[in-house]
Amino acid sequence: MANQRKFLLVKAMVTVITTVITATAMSPAFAASADVATQMAVVNEQGTGPMVGQILISESPYGLVFTPSLKGLPPGLHGFHVHENSSCEAKEKDGKKVPALAAGGHYDPAATKQHGLPWGNGHLGDLPALFVDAEGNATQPVLAPRLKMSDLAGRSLMIHAGADNHADHPAPLGGGGPRIVCGVIARGH
């Protein structure tokens, strides 16, 4: 019952944020900014797999807006982050290939080494959770109030298998688990 209440609360928060983002996107000042489309693909131990869509990154007066247009994902909430490197390739760790490990960790230019809220003092790459509907589609935008377009050059976007509690407890890095979808952000932004 508590999980269902938490899910409904997060869903309501996503609806409110979506309304604010949509209103902002329709403003004349917003229309003048350059958007960045990042192609997203499934990742596995062999590297990148099939494309699942794109995430459009836009500037707003309130930070960056990440608007997904994704299909074929597991339903529910997923950890969503900007990672430090511009690669989605698998990399070896402890003798085993790990999907998208070449992307590095969460973008953390201030070296806080602390996972946290998107508006907090932790990793700059910590984003709000990504919501995927029952049909496997992600279309709800999320707002990253501390990020600027200039932060994104040479970075990647990552979607994790599980939800993110925006803390290092009880599991490190929010407990999002394995990396399942990744996209390299176009250079020059």
Nearest CA among 144, 173, 115, 113 for reference residue 17: 144
pLDDT per residue as tens digits for the range 96-135: 999 999 999 988 888 878 767 777 787 778 899 999 999 9
Does some domain include residue 99?
A: yes
The domain of 135 spans 2-184
Where residue 100 falls (left for φ over 0; alpha for ψ -120 to 50; beta otherwise) is left
Check: pTM over 0.85? Answer yes or no: no
Does some domain include residue 108?
A: yes
**Does pLDDT of 32 surpass 50?**
no
Does some domain include residue 94?
A: yes
Q: What does the pLDDT read at residue 177? A: 83
Does some domain include residue 135?
A: yes
Count of domains forming the chain: 1
Residue type, 10: V
Which CATH number goes with the domain that contains 115? 2.60.40.200
Cβ atoms within 10 Å of 145's Cβ, excluding its own: 12
Does some domain include residue 189?
A: no
Q: Coil, strand, or helix at residue 67?
A: strand
Chain centre to alpha carbon of residue 65: 11
Which residues, in sequence order, are CB contacts of 163 under 8 Å at separation 6+?
76, 77, 78, 79, 129, 174, 175, 176
pLDDT per residue as tens digits for the range 125-165: 889 999 999 999 999 999 999 999 999 999 999 999 988 76
Q: What does the pLDDT read at residue 31? A: 44
